[in-house]
Amino acid sequence: MYTRNYRRRFDAVFVLFIVFLLLCIARLLYVQFFRSAYLAEIARKQHSLFVELEPRRGTIYDANLKPQAINISVDSLFADPHEIPDKNKEELSRQLASILNVDYAYVRDRLSRKKSFIWLARKLTPEQSQAVRALKGKGLDFMKEGKRSYPNGYLASHIIGFAGLDNKGLAGIEMSCDHYLKGEAGWMFALRDARQKKLDLSEKMVSPKDGYDVILTMDEVIQYVAERELDKAVKQFHAKGGSIVVLNPHTGAILALANRPTFDLNEYNLVDKDAWRNRAVCDLFEPGSVFKIVTASGALEENKVKESDRFFCENGSYSFAGHVLHDHRSHGTLTFQEVIEQSSNIGTSKVAQLLGPDLLYRYIKLFGFGAKSGIDLPGEIPGMTREPRFWSKLSLATIPMGQEVGVTALQLVDAVSVIANGGQLMKPYIISEIRDKYGEPIKTFGPCLVHKVISLETSERVKKILQGVVDSGTGKLAKINGLTAAGKTGTAQKLEPNGTYSHDRFMASFIGFAPVEDPMVAIAVIIDEPHPYYFGGVVSAPVFKVVAADSIRYLMTKQPGQQPGVMHEAKRTD
């Protein structure tokens, strides 16, 4: 009896063992034939780490190959929360929050996550990196990343722009040329041990493709001079802001462009975003009397007037279309040349009546107003002009003196360059070349003729008139010792919110070029709401004088040979 029971128990155990063995074999066969790929992938992920390889962002250089935006290698902090003992996380979070200048709750939340890799801070300062290393915290480590750095800080901030934390361009050339500068990221699979530590071994790797370098037409020396003088004027006249643009009138190459207020490119996130705005290309304003160059050029080109023709300027008060026009001071009879030299609103309106609305509008468009120039900077606006069918009866008198139109500083300097270069509207540009990391050119840019505006003869006649503005007219403070200069002053009333013209807020401007015989620079200076003095001839003309003089003397010291490139027709697009 006992032997029989023992035998049954033995058989039962044996059968269970056989069934278990068969189940194991079935499971192994299932895993081998149906789950092998899935489990192999899990194993691969556990022992392989996908790492993105950051490309080198291209360098931005000025015309003399002086770097304006570069990359530096900095530490980024990450953590493995699994390796940090729970009892240490509170104190470590407080220490890191103080060093990184972030909330304690943010750090504590990051360290509480069930992950083996978590970013704590990207692109630390050297001081922060050193302070974190001093903690010797277990589970903390660093990864090297590239950070954008701007050696000159404030200089040319609105030209260069800036890149964000992920090295993506957010403003200026950094933004408009981001597709050239950013490069292409690479990747690799790095091996890890059983404790998830990265080994210096890789399974597969695709090398990153570095970004291209960008060479600007901007000259660091001229840029410095322009910013220095703009700063002085804004501070001296307690202005709200200002802009200055310097370009080569023969080619359209931008030599300098600056705005106030400005900001340090290395600390762009610490200032109000309004300071980021490139006022020279995106701020609209009524130009005032500098706009008279359009009427003067059109009237001479169409043979409506001669320099000696005389106009009665109504002793400073002129009724037109039910309104009264005024000059800034009383004038009797002036020649056409004196009308422009003395900036008579009344005389200019009478010249415009000879020209007529259709021809006046035609020359406004020919000079580039009401259309984007195509500058390779982001944010450009086309300005504002209206077709004659939308004009009021008063428009023929007010538009010639710079009212009822909206322009930018860039459009003004481009327009005065037409007079300087013999009558051609050139497309302004600020990028001269794109190069690879070996210095080989990838793409080049050069002078581009948009269209002919006036004849060479007319431009020479207008040149003499504008030289008279500086020699004996409203622009005497723009006169340069040892050099000839030509230009036009402007003082425009700003509009109040109710649509009326202000009596205490003005835009003071001066546009001009030098030397007159063979202009090397064309310059526009715009000062926003200066006081107590607000006339363009008092506020802006002296800025032109110093910038033009210093720029020309500097350019004359450079080696010759930089001749204007071959010009070609270009279509203008709005």
* Residue ranges making up the domain that contains 432: 220-557
Q: Is residue 548 part of a domain?
A: yes
Does 18 map to a domain? no
Q: Is the pLDDT of residue 568 over 50?
A: no
Is 561's pLDDT higher than 70?
no
CATH number of the domain where residue 303 is located: 3.40.710.10
Q: Is residue 91 part of a domain?
A: no
Q: Do 319 and 357 sit in the same domain of this protein?
A: yes
Note the pLDDT tens digit of each residue in 83-136. 888 888 888 888 888 888 889 888 888 888 877 778 888 888 888 888 888 888
Apex CA 41: angle with CA 37 and CA 46, to 5°?
Answer: 150
Please give the residue that has the higher pLDDT: either 67 or 126.
67
pLDDT of 572 over the 70 cut: no
Per the listing, tokens 């020479």 go with 460
User: What's the pLDDT score for residue 191?
Assistant: 54
380 lies in a domain?
A: yes
Domain edge (last residue) among 195, 214, 233: 214
The rounded mean pLDDT for the chain is: 88
Query: For 313-347, how does the pLDDT look when each residue is reduced to its tens digit (9 = 90+)?
Result: 999 999 998 889 999 889 999 999 999 999 999 99
Looking at residue 370, its pLDDT comes to: 96
Q: Which residue has the higher pLDDT, 463 or 137?
A: 463
The answer to whether the beta carbons of residues 295 and 367 sit under 8 Å apart is no
Q: What is the pLDDT of residues 71-81, one digit of tens each?
A: 988 888 888 88
SS3 content of the chain, % helix, strand, coil (to 5): 40, 25, 35
Same domain, 239 and 346: yes
Listed in sequence order, the residues at least 6 apart from 394 whose beta carbon sits closer than 8 Å to its beta carbon are: 320, 321, 322, 323
Question: What are the catalytic residues?
Answer: 289
Distance CA 25, CA 41 (A): 23
Q: Does 305 share its domain with 178? A: no
Both 416 and 544 in one domain: the answer is: yes
**Residue 317 structure tokens:** 């008060």
Does 63 share its domain with 167? yes
What is the structure's pLDDT at 17?
80
Longest dimension (CA), the chain: 146
pLDDT score for 569: 40
201/298 same-domain check:
no
Taken as a whole, the chain contains a residue count of 574
One-letter amino acid for residue 551 of the chain: S
Q: Are residues 197 and 334 in the same domain?
A: no
User: Is the same domain home to 544 and 448?
Assistant: yes
Tokens, residue 169:
């361009």
Give the model's pLDDT for residue 283. 95
Residue 31: predicted pLDDT: 63
Q: What letter does residue 271 receive in the DSSP assignment?
A: S
Q: Is 119 inside any structural domain?
A: no
End-of-domain residue from the set 214, 230, 251? 214
CATH number at residue 53: 3.90.1310.10
| 187 and 252 fall within a common domain | no
What's the domain count of the chain?
Answer: 2
Are residues 329 and 202 both part of a single domain? Answer: no
State whether 183 and 256 are in the same domain.
Answer: no
478 pLDDT above the threshold of 50: yes
Are residue 455 and residue 320 in the same domain, yes or no? yes
Residue 183: CB atoms within 10 A of its CB come to 19
Higher pLDDT, 5 or 196: 5
Q: pLDDT grade, residue 442 (50/70/90)?
A: very high
Q: Which of 214, 247, 278 is the last residue of a domain?
A: 214
Decide if 1 is inside a domain: no
Tens of pLDDT, residue by residue over 517-541, are 999 999 999 999 999 999 999 999 9
**In-domain check, residue 37:** no
Residue carrying structure tokens 């704590």: 120
Report which of residues 561 and 366 the model is more confident about: 366
In a domain, 136, yes or no: no
Indicate the pLDDT class of residue 1, thresholds 50, 70 and 90. low
